[in-house]
């Protein structure tokens, strides 16, 4: 346990520069966006003085490093400033949006695992048979289907056609678990198709590699069944690969929600950043990107820690 | 190398020959299925192993020793390799057993250990778990009982602090300890035959001697028969009672070790002996045999050793059968009677 804490400390110290770098990039990129946020804020008929006043008020006239330093200082204390549009605190906006996104992403990840892992095991156990070929054809389709297209098909069929599930919107998890899941299931399915395919493929190839290893021969030589070999030894040995895939998948799903949230009109992080970017609402864009970076970094940290649980060789 | 332990321990008495053998291999052959057709890797392999007997298989790398060992336990990939002939264990042909019954044989009746102990052990399970699951695959015992038995077998294979080692992972052990752990897994269910495929090739010289000594000791204590596969005739001479010489996928000589050391009947066996400057030198690279093992794609029609044999005559151009030299000595050489071949004494 002690070793794990020390490892966590080490990883954290490696991660902080990554976060700082990410914030610099985000901050710097926004400077390159054409147009002047002060002008946008001041409105169509504003005088030059009014624009200058606003520019000063928001600190847009300060040098880049000063602006960045001020923002970072506040951010470190949990203050991400306020939206230029609504004047609401950015932290509040994120607090409202993030749960919607997280619900969809976690649900999509669970569906990917629940379907992808058994399919991957089946494909490996029946490698080079018809079942395997069928699974691999299906996963090629799953990888190739665009999320938004699948999303629209699902909405058309299950929501608009059959009326089983709501077509748009979201319910906070805290308000109604059932309502929240009913809203989340179609977007999660749209996201999960790629995840299922990815997990199935990766698990199949990782399992096949493990199956051809020398220790599998030892296991067979001592009289173990195929099922014990694959489901006990195979799965534990591919655990590290599987974790990596899950981590990457989670991060990818976070990114992919932007499109799916748009199709389903879900007020999540994707919708928030799209609206903010269109309106040059810089503090919101910065806040959303920063929190996404933090989530991704935290996921990777968690995965790193789990490696050492699964694989005794990881120091 | 191991001292002459074998000379004192576990020698079967003369009554041995009258009992039916534990293992009887008849005309075993392994064919590799390739796009261009079947490629015969080994063929016409026939031999017997008596209960508690220690038999060595020697031959240069690539002659089919590993393929033969794996075929005995049906561990070859069924998709690409076809096994023909008979493998009779107590008279039952293993090649005809359904999968479930074959599993009951593996580890329980016949166990196997391999060359590279690190890659042969599952890296993410403890040594104890890997022994325990072998026990629980064959005996209806609980976790606690399995643990006791596992610790006990670790102790028997000479692993110090067996209680602690039980809970360690393969990477935490040294090479020699890993091979001992492999032996512990193999012997956990007290099999009647242990196939050891070059169990010491990957180890240091001093460790090699210890492992060989251990195998001989355990086999004679428990009456476990041993099929010892090695490229090193010196090791066989010290550990086994009988030796099979393999060349290019065939057994070319099958004889009691004592006889063959004094008077080998096959020119290849003789050449193997002469390439050992001294039986205590472990690595034999066969410097004195010119030429190379023929490719399975281009086997000589007659005697397979003919291209390298100093005694080759036109008569050797016919396929060679295994001919009886004596009651328990067979050789695949038409000229065995006319030749005076040197053994180790020479
Ligand atoms: N999995 C395999 N696929 C194709 N050929 C193989 C395979 N295993 C062994 N062989 C071939 O079979 C022959 C015998 O190999 P092997 O039994 O490993 O020899 P040995 O153990 O005596 O060194 C060699 O020619 C080798 O190339
Ligand atoms: S049959 Fe002829 S070629 Fe073959 S080993 Fe005997 S003497 Fe040599
Ligand atoms: Mg070999």
pLDDT digits (tens, 9 = 90+) for A252-263: 999 888 888 888
**pLDDT value for B264:** 93
**pLDDT value for B288:** 58
Domain boundaries, chain A: 2-76, 94-310
B264 within ligand 2 shell (Cβ under 6 A): no
CB contact under 8 A, B137 and A223: yes
**pLDDT value for A127:** 87
pLDDT digits (tens, 9 = 90+) for A79-96: 888 887 888 898 999 999
pTM, two decimal places: 0.83
Which residues are B84's β-sheet partners? B29
Residue B119 token pair: 């890659």
**pLDDT value for B224:** 96
Residues 275-334 of B with CB under 8 A from A: none
**pLDDT value for B125:** 95
**pLDDT value for A50:** 80
**pLDDT value for B299:** 84
Residues 10-69 of B with CB under 8 A from A: none
Pocket test for ligand 2, best of B316, B332, B338, B339 (most atoms within 8 A of CB): B316
**pLDDT value for B283:** 47
> Which residue of chain B comes nearest to A234, CA vs CA?
B122
Domain range A94-310, CATH class: mainly alpha
| pLDDT tens for each residue of chain B, 346 residues long | 444 444 444 444 444 445 679 999 999 999 999 888 889 999 999 999 999 999 999 999 899 999 999 999 999 998 899 999 999 999 999 999 999 999 999 999 999 999 888 899 999 999 999 999 999 999 999 999 999 999 999 999 999 999 999 999 999 999 999 999 999 999 999 999 999 999 998 888 889 999 999 999 999 999 999 999 998 898 999 999 999 999 999 999 999 999 999 899 999 999 888 876 554 444 444 445 777 778 777 888 889 999 899 899 988 888 788 888 888 999 999 999 888 888 775 4
Cα–Cα distance, A169 to A266 (Å, whole number): 5
- Chain B partners within 8 Å of A222 (Cβ): 106-107, 111, 133-134, 137, 185-186, 188-189
Closest to B34 in 3D by CA, of B79, B71, B65: B79
**pLDDT value for B345:** 57
Measure in Å the smallest separation between the Cα of A84 and chain B Cα atoms: 54
Tell me whether B192 touches chain A (CB under 8 Å): no
- Chain A partners within 8 Å of B120 (Cβ): 214-215, 217-218
Residues 6+ apart with CB under 8 A from B93: B86, B87
- Chain A partners within 8 Å of B70 (Cβ): 217
- Chain A partners within 8 Å of B227 (Cβ): none
Of B106, B171, B182, the CB nearest to A223: B106
CB contact under 8 A, A222 and B106: yes
CB contact under 8 A, A237 and B106: no
CB contact under 8 A, B105 and A223: yes
Closest atom of ligand 1 relative to the B61 alpha carbon: 23
Percentage above 70 pLDDT, chain A: 97
Q: What is the 3-state secondary structure (H, E, C) of chain B?
A: CCCCHHHHCCCCCHHHHHCCCCEEEEEEEEEEEECCEEEEEEEEEEEEECCCCEEEEECCCCCCHHHHHHHHCCCCCCCCEEEEEEEEECCEEHHHCCHHHHHHHECCCEEEECCCHHHHCCCCCCHHHHHHHHHHHHCCCCHHHHHHHHHHHHHHCCCCCHHHHHCCCHHHCCHHHHHHHHHHHHHCCCCCEEEEECCCCCCCHHHHHHHHHHHHHHHHHHCCEEEEECCCHHHHHHHCCEEEEEECCEEEEEEEHHHHHHCCCCHHHHHHHHCCCCCCCCCCCCCCCCCCCCCHHHCCCCCCCHHHCCCCCHHHHCCCCCEEEECCEEECCCCCCCCCCCCCCC
**pLDDT value for A1:** 57
- Chain A partners within 8 Å of B153 (Cβ): none
Of B107, B133, B171, the CB nearest to A313: B171
- Residue A89 DSSP class: B
Measure in Å the smallest separation between the Cα of B112 and chain A Cα atoms: 6
Tell me whether B128 touches chain A (CB under 8 Å): no
Tell me whether B227 touches chain A (CB under 8 Å): no
pLDDT digits (tens, 9 = 90+) for A159-209: 788 878 777 777 777 777 787 888 888 899 999 999 999 999 999 999 999
**pLDDT value for A265:** 87
Closest atom of ligand 2 relative to the B313 alpha carbon: 2
CB contact under 8 A, A310 and B124: yes
Tell me whether B171 touches chain A (CB under 8 Å): yes
Measure in Å the smallest separation between the Cα of A221 and chain B Cα atoms: 5
If one compares A69 and B85, the residue with the highest pLDDT of the two is B85
Test the A interface: residue of B81, B105, B113, B122 with most A CBs within 10 Å: B122
> Which residue of chain A comes nearest to B113, CA vs CA?
A218
Q: Where are the alpha helices (DSSP H) in chain A?
A: 2-32, 37-42, 48-58, 64-76, 90-125, 130-144, 147-154, 177-211, 214-221, 226-228, 235-264, 269-278, 282-310
Could you report the predicted ipTM of this complex, rounded to two decimals?
0.88
Cα–Cα distance, B115 to B285 (Å, whole number): 18
Residue nearest atom 6 in ligand 2 by C-alpha distance: B333
Pocket test for ligand 2, best of B335, B337, B338, B341 (most atoms within 8 A of CB): B335
**pLDDT value for A157:** 85
CB contact under 8 A, A221 and B73: yes
> Which residue of chain A comes nearest to B132, CA vs CA?
A222
Report how far ligand 3's centroid is from the alpha carbon of B222 (Å).
26
**pLDDT value for A315:** 63
């Amino acid at each position: 346990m002690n070793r794990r804490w020390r490892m966590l400390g080490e990883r954290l110290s490696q991660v902080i520069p990554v976060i700082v770098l990410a914030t610099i990039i985000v901050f710097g990129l926004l400077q390159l966006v054409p147009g002047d946020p002060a002008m946008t804020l001041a409105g169509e008929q504003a005088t030059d003085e009014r624009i200058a006043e606003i520019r000063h008020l928001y600190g847009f006239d300060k040098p880049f490093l000063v602006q960045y330093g001020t923002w970072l200082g506040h951010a470190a204390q949990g203050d991400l400033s306020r939206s230029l549009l609504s004047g609401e605190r950015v932290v509040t906006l994120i607090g409202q949006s993030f749960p919607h996104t997280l619900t969809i992403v976690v649900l999509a990840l669970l569906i990917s695992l629940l379907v992808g892992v058994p399919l991957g095991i089946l494909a490996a156990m029946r490698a080079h048979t018809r079942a395997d070929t069928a699974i691999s054809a299906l996963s090629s389709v799953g990888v190739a289907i665009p999320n938004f297209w699948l999303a629209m098909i699902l909405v058309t069929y299950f929501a608009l056609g059959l009326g089983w599930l709501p077509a748009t919107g979201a319910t906070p998890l805290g308000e109604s678990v059932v309502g929240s899941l009913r809203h989340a299931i179609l977007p999660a399915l749209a996201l999960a198709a790629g995840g299922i395919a990815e997990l199935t493929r990766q698990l199949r190839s990782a399992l096949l590699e493990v199956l051809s290893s020398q220790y599998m021969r030892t296991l067979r030589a001592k009289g173990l069944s195929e099922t014990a070999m694959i489901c006990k030894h195979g799965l534990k040995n591919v655990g590290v690969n599987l974790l990596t895939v899950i981590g990457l998948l989670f991060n990818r799903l976070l990114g992919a929600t932007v499109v799916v949230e748009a199709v389903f009109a879900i007020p999540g992080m994707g919708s928030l950043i799209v609206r903010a970017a269109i309106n040059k609402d810089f503090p919101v864009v910065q806040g959303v990107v920063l929190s996404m970076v933090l989530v991704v970094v935290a996921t990777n940290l968690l995965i790193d820690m789990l490696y050492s649980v699964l694989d005794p060789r990881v120091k | 190398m191991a001292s002459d332990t074998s000379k004192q321990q576990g020698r079967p008495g003369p009554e041995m020959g009258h009992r039916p053998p534990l293992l009887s291999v008849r005309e075993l052959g392994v064919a590799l299925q390739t796009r261009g057709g079947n490629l015969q890797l080994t063929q016409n392999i026939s031999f017997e192993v008596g209960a508690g007997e220690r038999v060595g298989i020697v031959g240069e790398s690539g002659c089919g020793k590993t393929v033969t060992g794996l075929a005995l336990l049906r561990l070859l990939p069924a998709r690409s390799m076809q096994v023909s002939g008979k493998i009779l264990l107590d008279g039952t042909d293993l090649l005809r057993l359904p999968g479930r019954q074959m599993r009951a044989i593996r580890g329980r009746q016949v166990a196997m250990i391999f060359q590279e102990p690190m890659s042969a052990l599952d890296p993410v399970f403890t040594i104890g778990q890997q022994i325990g699951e072998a026990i629980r695959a064959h005996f209806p015992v609980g976790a606690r009982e399995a643990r006791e038995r596992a610790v006990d077998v670790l102790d028997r294979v000479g692993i110090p602090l067996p209680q602690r080692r039980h809970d360690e992972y393969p990477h935490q052990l040294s090479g020699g300890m890993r091979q001992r752990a492999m032996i512990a897994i193999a012997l956990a269910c007290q099999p009647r035959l242990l196939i050891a495929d070059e169990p010491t090739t990957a180890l240091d010289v001093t460790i090699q001697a210890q492992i060989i000594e251990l195998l001989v000791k355990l086999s004679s204590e428990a009456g476990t028969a041993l099929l010892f596969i090695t490229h090193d005739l010196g090791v066989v001479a010290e550990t086994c009672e009988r030796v099979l010489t393999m060349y290019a996928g065939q057994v070319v000589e099958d004889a009691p070790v004592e006889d063959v050391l004094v008077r080998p009947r096959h020119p290849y066996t003789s050449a193997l002996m002469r390439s050992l400057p001294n039986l205590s030198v472990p690595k034999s690279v066969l410097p004195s045999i010119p030429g190379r093992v023929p490719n399975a794609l281009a086997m000589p029609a007659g005697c397979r050793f003919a291209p390298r044999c100093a005694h080759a005559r036109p008569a050797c151009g016919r396929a060679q059968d295994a001919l009886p030299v004596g009651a328990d000595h067979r050789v695949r050489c038409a000229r065995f009677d006319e030749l005076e071949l040197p053994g180790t004494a020479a």
